[in-house]
Structure 1
């Protein structure tokens, strides 16, 4: 980076932390409770960034408007809440990135589509709650990503200028939100992406194929 950012904001699932193992575990437990075979982890993993709705779609072939969807989604979320950080952890190398930002006194925060019900206990379980300058969830805003409202709120809470901020994400809506907020955007290809080659079309300012790449970009 040619200039010191005012704040570095991260998407949560698939960008800052690897939540896929617990999503995979919960979805397959739900399937097995209905005498269905476990799905391959790699198949589930690519859809984790789209949340519980995607889990019910790929696990049971149901969409929101179909009978049985609401009950399955509620059961999945209850399972997930109970075991929210059994296998979830920061991506390898990510703690070093956060420590480097902290050493340079650059605040960092989280802007996620994960509801408060799950995001707060998760970052507490991982020991991140006292380190991040801001956590903005969909519960906090009227309009979710790709609308920039959440990113502007995060900058306000971190006392940072949005035009000097960086937003890092693994979904097209993250990059669109960052661009809509006038931020520098970094797309990460190591996240939960069904078609990694599609990242090149998102119009991000920068792309990180690995966490090591991200560390270099943020130096």
Structure 2
């Protein structure tokens, strides 16, 4: 039986792509470029500022103006991090069901703490989560298992009795390394043509609420 459920944040728990996309298009506008459509941005939305700046401006760390544009991106995002962000359809019902069953749940994300906590507060779930583990909570970030193991410790649950839902390969790699049950959020930020069969996961779901069928693994 599963004793606790953990979620990735961007692309799994909440659809953050609209606000991340607005931050990217803000920076593109500073360079005089037209905005990118959300459908182009969405598959990269789990990859943070580095992935988005590479997508939108072809910039990598070390480029002459990378740091200043990254700062502009992050400042804009911090000011608008929950303007259009919403839970994925079915997530609220899933959380209610988990709480009805007295199953603790939490967030394990590579998103920095300074964005994770305010976002979860604005969504109304910060105090309902048993733990909020951010990308800078531990010495290592996913795909290293340390954040997942830390979350299990915070909840007082054995790692092997935890289920982790995420929409990125690194999520499943982290779950496998932590000996957790990894389930793919196939509704998340996946690039076209992604072969989910190659990921080290126990299964996948097309909607958050469908996760319930895995709780008796």
**How does the TM-score come out when normalised to structure 2?**
0.95
Deviation at 1:217, TM superposition (A): 3.5
Question: Hey, what does 2:28 align to over in structure 1?
Answer: 31
Question: Hey, what does 1:76 align to over in structure 2?
Answer: 73
- Distance across 2 between alignment mates of 1:212 and 1:7: 15
Please tell me whether the aligned partners of residues 167 and 184 of structure 2 are also in contact (alpha carbons under 8 angstroms): yes
Q: Which aligned pairs between 1:88-127 and structure 2 lie closer than 5 A?
A: 88-127=85-124
Moved over 4 A (4+): none
Deviation at 1:144, TM superposition (A): 1.2
Q: Which aligned pairs between 1:163-174 and structure 2 lie closer than 5 A?
A: 163-174=160-171
Aligned length: 216
Deviation at 1:216, TM superposition (A): 3.8
- Distance across 2 between alignment mates of 1:112 and 1:204: 18
**How does the TM-score come out when normalised to structure 1?**
0.94
RMSD: 1.3
Q: In the TM superposition, what whole-angstrom CA distance separates every residue of 1:155-186 from its partner, at most 9, and x where no partner exists? A: 11111111111011000010010010111110
Question: Hey, what does 2:60 align to over in structure 1?
Answer: 63
Other structure's SS at 1:120 match: helix
Q: 1:108 to 1:212 in 2, by over 3 A?
A: closer
- Give structure 2 stretches of 5+ with no counterpart: none
Other structure's SS at 1:85 match: coil
Question: Hey, what does 1:143 align to over in structure 2?
Answer: 140
